[in-house]
């Protein structure tokens, strides 16, 4: 492992306070033992919805303002930041440096990342987005340091 990788690994491991890490990983393990992956994802989306209701965004008029408001909330909580891109038929969201993999364990990331679906869904609805538009994880684009999502019409399949 080179020096840069060592530094990144060290900093990533510190994203979750040591006083919470064992508790959160144990909780994630119990949830995974009792619930199916689809149920875990639904649960985490609901937790994300609640989180976003507790931390509403200010009014925003532009996509740049939305990205800034979301990223300011995340960085204040040591949850990384988001970049939003305007694609042809949807908005792309790339969330960087989430502590989910460190807090819940990397094996929980597939369902744990659904937390971000819930947060972003609630925030976009608070800002006036149609409830017909859905925030969804992009299949194959969930990694410990980068989680990619989209806001748009539900994708078939």
Q: Is the pLDDT of residue 26 over 80?
A: yes
Q: Is the pLDDT of residue 17 over 90?
A: no
Could you read off the pLDDT of 122-151 as tens digits, one per residue?
999 999 999 899 999 998 888 878 899 999
What local confidence, expressed as pLDDT, does residue 57 receive?
A: 97
Strand order in the sheet with 90-96: 81-86, 90-96, 146-152, 134-142
What local confidence, expressed as pLDDT, does residue 6 receive?
A: 54
| Residue entry with tokens 């969930």 | 142
| DSSP percent split of the chain into helix, strand, coil, nearest 5 | 55, 20, 25
Per-residue pLDDT averaged across 11-32, rounded? 77
pTM of the model: 0.90
Domain assignments of the chain as residue spans, ordered by start: 3-152
Residue 7's pLDDT band, with cuts at 50, 70 and 90, is very low
| Residue entry with tokens 């149920």 | 39
Report the CATH number of the 3-152 domain. 3.30.1380.20
CA angle 9, 66, 156 (to 5 degrees): 80
Could you read off the pLDDT of 68-114 as tens digits, one per residue?
999 999 999 989 899 999 998 999 999 998 999 888 988 999 999 99
């Amino acid at each position: 492992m080179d020096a840069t990788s060592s530094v990144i690994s060290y900093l990533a491991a510190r994203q979750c306070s040591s006083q919470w890490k064992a508790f959160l990983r144990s909780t994630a393990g119990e949830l995974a033992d009792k619930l199916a992956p689809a149920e875990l994802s639904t649960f985490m989306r609901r937790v994300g919805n609640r989180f976003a209701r507790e931390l509403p965004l200010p009014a925003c008029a532009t996509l740049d303002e939305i990205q800034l408001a979301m990223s300011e909330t995340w960085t204040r909580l040591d949850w990384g930041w988001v970049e939003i891109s305007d694609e042809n038929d949807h908005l792309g969201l790339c969330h960087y440096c989430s502590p989910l993999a460190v807090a819940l364990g990397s094996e929980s990331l597939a369902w744990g990342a659904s937390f971000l679906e819930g947060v972003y869904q609630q925030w976009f609805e608070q800002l006036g987005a149609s409830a017909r538009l859905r925030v969804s994880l992009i299949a194959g684009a969930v990694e410990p340091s980068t989680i990619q999502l989209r806001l748009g019409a539900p994708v078939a399949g």
